[in-house]
């Protein structure tokens, strides 16, 4: 791809200094605009630090997304330990040619990239600003946004956090196309239709860059103005055999969708991969963290159940004989009750209540309580047999037969 680039920067008519920075690296086909913010010299340092870190990273072969991530860390590192620079940040919108007809845009903040294709201007980037987000959410009209008092508030910038979300866009360009990178000092002062008109009417890129600065200053020049104009002179042929691209070219030339691909990076998502790996590792670890206690609980519950099944006793019937069973009536998870010992008592000897209790296995507890219950049964049987054989005692008397026997005779 053959490109011709020009640039211009100006502090405007209001600001005391220029906190914007830009990069035109023809050899690497790398271009960028940064708009710094922060007190004292912070903004200036932030934008220049980011631009230099970006340049160095791309020169080392770092993909654009990673290069911007490194620029972010560079700004943070530069601010660390310097009170005058604390809180500084910067926007960064960068473009690199990646072969064929493709330009790759990496973008953070409210600087912008535009594409002029067939005389029509298309905005290629979304602003990370409060008012633009409100417009996207339908809470502000674009007209309201233009004059909104908080339009300078950015929602994403370098130098704020270790982790920065970088938007990537690919731009399919043709020979004759023109790309404009600019800080908000242009776009807050000059309407898009005027930007389009100038971009269309000024053939020389340097003249255009200067014209943009002049127009912004003529409109008040309230902010620093920085512009990089990149003319696409030639694209690499043959283009990669992408059927979608061919279709776009032939059927819908000049339409926005045909020219500006959605922000879907064809670049290998290098920074995303470690993040994905990290989260996968985290998922596995989380699964273990969840499963381990679960397994322990299940194991403990099984053991407790087994212990319960084997350590409890109840009085029941085997054949016609009253016996003490070890276990739980009906069994638990394969632990079936076993006869622990026989009593020699027959069911028919018991009072109706006891018979019922025994036959429904309605007495459960420790071996001691089972033994005590059997003792009471035996006592009641001896009492009833010695006193009278016909009338089994009532419910209440059967419970305390021993006291009656010892005291009555």
Q: Using CA atoms, how far apart are residues 227 and 198, in angstroms rounded to an integer? A: 13
- Residue 397 tokens read as 């008397």
Binding site for Mn ion (CB under 5 A): 35, 183-185, 223
Residue from 15, 180, 19 nearest 91 by CA: 19
**b/e per residue 96-124 (b: at least 16 CB within 10 A):** bbbebbbbbbbbbbbbbbbbbbeeebbbb
Q: Shortest approach of Mn ion to residue 227 CB, angstroms?
A: 12
Q: Shortest approach of Mn ion to residue 174 CB, angstroms?
A: 31
- What stretches of 115-204 show up as alpha helix (H) in DSSP? 130-136, 142-146, 184-187, 192-201
Q: Shortest approach of Mn ion to residue 38 CB, angstroms?
A: 12
Q: Shortest approach of Mn ion to residue 223 CB, angstroms?
A: 4
Choice between 35 and 44, CB closer to Mn ion: 35
Residue from 355, 307, 359 nearest 333 by CA: 307
- Residue 338 tokens read as 């076993």
Contact (Cβ atoms closer than 8 angstroms) between residue 171 and residue 97: no
Choice between 47 and 380, CB closer to Mn ion: 47
Q: Shortest approach of Mn ion to residue 154 CB, angstroms?
A: 9
Q: Shortest approach of Mn ion to residue 208 CB, angstroms?
A: 20
Q: Shortest approach of Mn ion to residue 92 CB, angstroms?
A: 13
Choice between 183 and 393, CB closer to Mn ion: 183
Choice between 110 and 354, CB closer to Mn ion: 110
Choice between 170 and 187, CB closer to Mn ion: 187
Q: Using CA atoms, how far apart are residues 310 and 82, in angstroms rounded to an integer? A: 72
In 38-91, the DSSP E strands lie at 89-90
Q: Strand, coil or helix: what is 402?
A: helix
Choice between 185 and 265, CB closer to Mn ion: 185
Return phi, psi of residue 129, to 5°: -130, 155
Choice between 185 and 327, CB closer to Mn ion: 185
């Amino acid at each position: 791809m053959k490109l011709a680039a020009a640039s211009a920067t100006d502090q405007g008519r209001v600001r005391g200094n220029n906190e914007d920075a830009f990069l035109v690296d023809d050899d690497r086909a790398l271009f960028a605009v940064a708009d710094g913010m922060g007190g004292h010299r912070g903004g200036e340092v932030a934008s220049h630090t980011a631009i230099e870190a970006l340049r160095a990273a791309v020169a080392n072969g770092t993909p654009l997304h990673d290069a911007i991530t490194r620029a972010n860390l560079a700004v943070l590192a530069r601010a660390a330990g310097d009170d005058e620079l604390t809180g500084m940040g910067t926007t960064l919108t960068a473009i690199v040619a990646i072969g064929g007809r493709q330009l790759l845009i990496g973008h953070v903040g409210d600087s912008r990239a535009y594409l002029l294709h067939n005389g029509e201007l298309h905005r290629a980037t979304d602003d990370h600003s409060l008012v633009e987000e409100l417009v996207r959410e339908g809470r502000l009209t674009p007209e309201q946004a233009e004059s909104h008092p908080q339009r300078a508030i950015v929602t994403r910038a370098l130098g704020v956090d270790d982790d920065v979300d970088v938007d990537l866009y690919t731009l399919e360009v043709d020979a004759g196309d023109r790309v404009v990178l600019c800080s908000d000092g242009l776009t807050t002062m000059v309407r898009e239709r005027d930007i389009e008109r100038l971009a269309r009417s000024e053939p020389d890129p340097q003249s255009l860059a200067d014209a943009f600065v002049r127009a912004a200053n003529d409109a008040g020049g309230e902010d620093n103005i920085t512009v990089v104009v990149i003319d696409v002179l030639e694209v690499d042929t043959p283009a990669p055999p992408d059927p979608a691209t061919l279709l776009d070219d032939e059927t819908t030339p000049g339409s926005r969708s045909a020219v500006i691909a959605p922000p879907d990076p064809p670049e290998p998502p290098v920074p995303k991969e470690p993040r994905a790996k990290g989260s996968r590792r985290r998922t596995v670890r989380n699964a273990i963290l969840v499963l381990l206690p679960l397994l322990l609980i299940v194991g403990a519950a099984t053991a407790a159940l087994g212990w319960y099944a084997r350590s409890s006793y109840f009085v029941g019937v085997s054949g016609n004989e009253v016996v003490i069973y070890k276990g739980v009536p009906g069994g638990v998870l394969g632990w079936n009750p076993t006869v622990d010992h026989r009593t020699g008592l027959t069911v028919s000897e018991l009072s109706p209540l006891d018979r019922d209790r025994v036959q429904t296995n309605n007495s459960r507890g420790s071996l001691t309580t089972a033994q005590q219950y059997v003792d009471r049964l035996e006592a009641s049987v001896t009492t009833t047999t010695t006193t009278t054989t016909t009338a089994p005692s009532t419910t209440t008397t059967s419970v305390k037969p021993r006291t009656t026997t010892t005291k009555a005779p």
